[in-house]
């Protein structure tokens, strides 16, 4: 049975406090809509705040829905920043944008990037926008409230997760990577997805290691969380293997049925979204369904495309920098030496986290988590091959390093010790490496963000 020391509790409290501080700091200095596709994510959250679950597709246009014209006008003030690293914040435009108020008039606007995501995950942002609109706040204040709600919910989920299972330095490192902290302050779903993943795996390990009576209730919560995350992050679908295992611990038919119908629901949503989402940003010579069947009938071609992609040093470097921190609309990059430094620190944390003893103590559970993390990476490439790459493809396009954060979260739970006994030299080094990431976030990130948006 897993237990906590005072040091464990202090470490978790300090970690979440620092994440909150960074979140509030970056909330002030990062301009609106500076995460990839954040315009579409905010539109999706607005639609949910109006009770709209399903998007629509109009003839000749990408999938979208009805959005308040004031919100669209507010967004327009910041469209000159993405992909234009020489453009800076215009004080007059920003001041003008901050006075825009909700109009109550709606018009159709496309949001194809969110058509595949089950909207429930946008609840924190939707609450912020709803409250802001109800209190007659400006659009800017409502948007900031949506970002704040997203931060608060993400931290709450992590707090609950760590109440079931301790946080290892490897998991902590992933939570405070520059890429993760930047996404924390956006109105996107990245950090919420990270927190949900940490929570559902923590619950799984807890019920696998526990003999307490609440195990069955926690099973239903875990299955629900897996359904939510896998319906908007398809690469998390392999985590349903944990549901199957938990059905036999102990076996209950009602658990099996709940897990089965949850999986069917996720698969139905996935198929529904593939068929009904039109994304005219991508030019493909075949429908997504046709592409899926093409590679199912020709698996060797999928392997060939995947090998071509993974054999590219440039792409591997791109994925690595994206995982560590390629910020904004991928237009805020650190120096090569800084990326190498971060990679060395993360690699050392991984090596120090490996615990054969811990893995052996729950070898089946941890092996399933490890397997899910590996399969998850393949699904990332497969989904981008189907949804974003030209057909037939030579390489897989559109993959970003941050897409591998969730597989790495799974990986951290599969190999990491709980780091009991804070006198351990390994733990001291691991915590020291965490401190390095914190110092980097405190000193390097703000300079890079300020220079990108305000100076130069």
| Secondary structure element (H or E) that encloses residue 66, with its range | strand 63-68
Quote the pLDDT of residue 333: 94
Quote the pLDDT of residue 363: 83
Quote the pLDDT of residue 445: 97
Of the candidates 135, 23, 31, 114, the one whose C-alpha atom is nearest the C-alpha of residue 74 is 31
Quote the pLDDT of residue 110: 95
Determine contact, residues 166/129, Cβ cutoff 8 Å: no
* Residue 237 backbone dihedrals phi, psi, to 5 degrees: -55, -35
Cα 179 from Cα 177, distance rounded (Å):
5
User: Half-sphere exposure of 206 toward its Cβ, with a 13 Å CA cutoff?
Assistant: 26
Helix 6-29 to helix 139-164 angle, to the nearest 10 degrees?
Answer: 170
Quote the pLDDT of residue 422: 44
Determine contact, residues 440/21, Cβ cutoff 8 Å: no
The two structure tokens encoding residue 188: 């996107």
Cα 98 from Cα 92, distance rounded (Å):
10
Quote the pLDDT of residue 421: 43
List all residues 6 or more positions away from 171 whose beta carbon is below 8 Å from its beta carbon.
198, 409, 412, 413, 416
Quote the pLDDT of residue 277: 87
Q: Is residue 348 classed as helix, strand or coil in its secondary structure?
A: helix
Tell me which residues of the chain have a pLDDT lower than 70. 1-5, 210-214, 417-424, 456
Quote the pLDDT of residue 212: 58
Q: pLDDT by residue (tens digit) across 145-185?
A: 999 999 999 999 999 999 999 888 899 999 999 999 999 99
Determine contact, residues 121/188, Cβ cutoff 8 Å: no
């Amino acid at each position: 049975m897993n237990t906590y020391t005072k040091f464990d509790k202090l470490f978790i409290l300090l970690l979440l406090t620092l994440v909150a501080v960074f979140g509030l700091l970056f909330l002030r200095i990062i301009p609106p809509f500076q995460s990839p596709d954040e315009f579409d994510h905010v539109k999706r959250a607005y639609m949910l705040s109006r009770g709209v679950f399903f998007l629509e597709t109009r003839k000749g246009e990408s999938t979208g829905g009805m959005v308040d014209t004031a919100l669209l006008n507010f967004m327009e003030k910041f469209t000159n920043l993405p992909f234009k690293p020489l453009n800076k914040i215009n004080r007059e435009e920003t001041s003008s944008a901050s006075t825009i108020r909700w109009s109550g008039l709606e018009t159709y606007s496309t949001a194809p990037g969110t058509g595949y995501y089950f909207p429930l995950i946008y609840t924190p942002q939707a609450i912020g926008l709803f409250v802001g609109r109800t209190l007659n706040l400006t659009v800017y204040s409502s948007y900031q409230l949506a970002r704040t709600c997203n931060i608060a919910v993400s931290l709450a989920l992590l707090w609950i997760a760590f109440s079931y299972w301790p946080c290892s330095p490897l998991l902590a490192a992933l939570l405070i990577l520059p890429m993760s902290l930047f996404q924390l302050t956006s109105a996107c779903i990245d950090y919420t997805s990270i927190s949900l993943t940490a929570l559902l795996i923590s619950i799984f390990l807890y019920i696998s290691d526990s003999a307490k009576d609440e195990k069955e209730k926690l099973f239903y919560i875990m299955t629900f969380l897996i359904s939510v995350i896998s319906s908007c992050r398809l690469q998390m679908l392999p985590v349903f293997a944990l549901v199957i295992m938990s059905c036999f611990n102990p076996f209950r038919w009602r658990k099996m049925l709940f897990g089965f119908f949850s999986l069917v629901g996720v698969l139905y949503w996935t198929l529904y979204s593939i068929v009904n989402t039109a994304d005219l940003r991508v030019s493909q010579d075949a429908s997504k369904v046709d592409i899926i069947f093409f590679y199912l009938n020709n698996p060797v071609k999928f392997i060939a495309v995947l090998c071509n992609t993974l054999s590219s040093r440039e792409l591997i470097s791109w994925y690595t920098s994206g995982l560590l921190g390629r910020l904004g609309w991928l237009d805020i990059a650190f120096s090569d030496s800084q990326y190498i430094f971060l990679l060395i620190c993360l690699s050392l944390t991984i090596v120090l986290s490996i615990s054969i003893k811990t893995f052996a103590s729950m070898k089946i559970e941890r092996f399933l988590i490890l397997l899910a993390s590996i399969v998850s990476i393949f699904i990332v490439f497969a989904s981008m091959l189907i949804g974003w790459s030209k057909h037939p493809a030579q390489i897989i396009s559109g993959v970003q390093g941050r897409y591998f954060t969730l597989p790495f979260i799974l990986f951290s739970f599969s190999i990491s010790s709980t780091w009991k006994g804070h006198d351990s030299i390994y733990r001291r080094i691991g915590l020291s490496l965490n401190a390095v990431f914190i110092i980097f976030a405190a000193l390097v990130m703000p300079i890079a963000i300020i220079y990108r948006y305000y100076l130069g």
